[in-house]
Structure 1
């Protein structure tokens, strides 16, 4: 009665009055802040039966629960950045002996979901698939759920846990200090999972598997585009960097020094010419890469003569809403996922570049040089950080620019140019010194076709996964 009276008096607020016994129930950390007790967190559709997640799944299994392995077994390692919104972007391989302690352990078909902010807010989650020898080790910052109840399919539980509404509830139940908050395991242990008909769950399972299939096909098409570039340059697609270094003819008197990675420069040839005294800048491999680009049959030119660098600042209006692409949104195949949306006054001060359809963005920060992406129509007029270069070219199409800068050759080449102390990055002047091959137009067209098909399949994959989550949400709300 008191709840109703207060709600009528303050209709703009959400008010709940609970007894101390109700607050203490299933509240091991004894939280007394309001977030865990929001009405939205207490919603249950009584038309369904429910089961606690802890009763149907093994949560965060220990290493002892990975069977039949030896220390010489190759396994998958995943960092938090390898998880996308529903998918695994990238898989590292390593020997199991490297992951003795301090890791999360999982196997094929386990569910992985981030436990910290902002990773959880970005929806970093996946079903573990295509693991080396079926075994995975990874960051301790994601939870692992292994479904063991035959009444539940993994894909259905995954979609249920991956919904925005669950993420919001999980965020309300986080514990810890600001910036390092985590979803406690106890939240998932008591989370109720609805028991839906197996026919419906199989429908969800098919949509999730079809989504995964489309994504893998998308990755294969990207690889074909990359192979097309390497072949055009006369390199071995299986080991492009090594085949480049093997192909370079050095003067005989430099061969010994080159093998030792020694480069001798006079003051006139080094500092007085480049302004750089750091030895890394003069490594022989960079000279080899530049000589190789210069030998390309279709010609080459400097970056500044071929590519336009859009470096004009854009000042967001305080009370206008903008979409902002940050480093965490960039996928491994040049794709972009889930940009943030906020008023201009709330955006980071570095959100000062506006991008257009067809631009290519490239991180200038050492350690993140592989974060390159193609701006498609859906991201037109979004904002990006000043930590990105925003590029386009009349001579090279956008798809070719993307594949080129993400290629193993250019990723190695770009390592030459960063400078600085606390934050090492490529500046505009150094960027202009890069040599760019004038890729044959016919090859560019083939690369563009592969990339466009790849992006269409990735879009299809995302749509299938989104549709699966929507169907689960509708079923819970009783709309189907």
Structure 2
């Protein structure tokens, strides 16, 4: 009803018991009802389960040491959290070990099985489980760390699942400090009450997570098999590249032919890659002849919601790990490319050229940044295009053709004129099947994580018996 006002009546004694918070937001009906439910189930506070709360302090500027080549120690920032997990991608910064050694008391270190939470801003309470992809991770100041190595009385995977659920998120938002910009503090997180269930029920969340990881590992294996098959098909396996640092070209062979005078462009290794394409048994053609490029700007309507894909949403195996959902008038001006199912998007920016992805059905008609080229082809299927452009071969050719001063990128003319091997149809079909298998396995892995989150919510809304039935129903499908 228009003009309706929500209010809650709370006893003064109850206010005293909750740290003297007097702001109305803290006493929303939904928060009070959730608190009642958790109290009825039985609860234990985070500070009482032997979880160590930590965060990075005010370390000196370290941006000059960032690299984005997956070398060193991952330096986690908020964008590295996707769908409840720490997800390493081409936008993840890495630090050399000596930076951590020089700042042992100011840069916090997280290990697999720990939990990280965004401290404030519009990403407040965004939460991720630290995976075992790397042995340890450094944390930015924007994250709070829950170390779970010595956790007691509760399963750490249940803790993660609960905090990632809508009810855990409500508690994190409720406990955020309201002075200035809302933000989380270590003491406030320690006071959060967790619902207690039977050990057998909580242990199911560990089993589900580990099953999800198995599916993910199988997905990566299928992707690697497709990648290896392509490399073998085009002759890149075992290719010996020139190690020469000098390449002598006359003016006609250099500037008049290419318009380039920078020495980087003429590295002998690039000629080795180009010659490999020229000699490919099934032939080659220029990209502009092989592929359709979709570069027409799309103007989003102000009040329509769109899915928007940017660099940080691209996973290492060509998958899309998430998106921003926003109305047209809230999107950045670079959100001007419309994509459709089976399109392939390729980053044009040097330093993130490996950010290529295949558009699945759920992102049909989504938008992506103008920093991507959007292509499809009638000669090469989309799965093969993805693997091809993420391969060492095409990555080097893309890099060779990047130019610019402030922002180095490959322009449209250069992109259209790079040579592309026309992969044999039989090889394309094998690659298509492997990538389809990889994507299906990854989807199964993601679905299990959604089941984990929903099962916690059902246990709170109804009871753990119903939640177990929900889990068993999905596992039997």
The bucket for the TM-score relative to the shorter chain is: 0.7 to 0.9
Give yes or no for contact 1:57–1:145 (8 Å, CA) kept in 2. no
1:399 to partner: Cα distance: 0.6
Give yes or no for contact 2:303–2:329 (8 Å, CA) kept in 1. yes
**Which moved further from structure 2: 339-348 or 349-358?**
339-348
Query: Aligned to 2:254, which of 265, 270, 276?
Result: 270
Counterparts in 2 of 1:185 and 1:274: CA distance versus 1, 3 Å = farther
Q: Which residue of 2 aligns with 1:467?
A: 451
- Write the distance in 2 (CA, Å) between the matches of 1:370 and 1:124: 26
1:417 to partner: Cα distance: 2.3
Q: Which residue of 2 aligns with 1:340?
A: 324
Query: 1:195-234 residue pairs with structure 2 within 5 A?
Result: 195-234=196-235
- Write the distance in 2 (CA, Å) between the matches of 1:216 and 1:176: 44
- Write the distance in 2 (CA, Å) between the matches of 1:407 and 1:15: 59
Q: Which residue of 2 aligns with 1:417?
A: 401
Give yes or no for contact 2:235–2:276 (8 Å, CA) kept in 1. no
What is the aligned length? 438
Q: Structure 1: which 5+ residue stretches go unaligned? A: 1-7, 64-73, 237-242, 249-257
Query: Aligned to 2:132, which of 126, 129, 133?
Result: 129
SS in 1 for 2:326: strand
Q: Does 1:194 align with 2:195?
A: yes
Superimposed CA distance per residue, residues 201-247 of structure 1 (whole angstroms, 9 cap, x where no aligned partner): 122222222111111111111111111111112233xxxxxx43x15
1:400 to partner: Cα distance: 0.7
**Which moved further from structure 2: 423-432 or 393-402?**
423-432
Q: Structure 2: which 5+ residue stretches go unaligned? A: 57-70, 467-477
Q: Does 1:56 align with 2:57?
A: no
Q: Does 1:310 align with 2:307?
A: no
Q: Which residue of 2 aligns with 1:103?
A: 107
- Write the distance in 2 (CA, Å) between the matches of 1:177 and 1:405: 47
1:396 to partner: Cα distance: 0.8
- Write the distance in 1 (CA, Å) between the matches of 2:23 and 2:298: 40
Superimposed CA distance per residue, residues 307-335 of structure 1 (whole angstroms, 9 cap, x where no aligned partner): 11111111112222222222222111111
- Write the distance in 1 (CA, Å) between the matches of 2:28 and 2:247: 65
Give yes or no for contact 1:75–1:137 (8 Å, CA) kept in 2. no
Give yes or no for contact 1:334–1:371 (8 Å, CA) kept in 2. yes
Give yes or no for contact 2:283–2:421 (8 Å, CA) kept in 1. yes
Give yes or no for contact 2:82–2:322 (8 Å, CA) kept in 1. no
SS in 2 for 1:47: helix
Q: Which residue of 1 aligns with 2:168?
A: 166
Give yes or no for contact 1:175–1:182 (8 Å, CA) kept in 2. yes
**Which moved further from structure 2: 418-427 or 348-357?**
418-427
Query: In angstroms, what is the RMSD of aligned CA positions?
Result: 3.4
Query: 1:17-166 residue pairs with structure 2 within 5 A?
Result: 38-42=28-32, 43-44=34-35, 45=37, 46-60=39-53, 77=74, 79-80=76-77, 82-90=80-88, 99-100=100-101, 101=103, 102-115=106-119, 117=121, 123=126, 125-129=128-132, 131-132=134-135, 135-147=136-148, 148-166=150-168
1:56 to partner: Cα distance: 1.1
Counterparts in 2 of 1:423 and 1:35: CA distance versus 1, 3 Å = farther
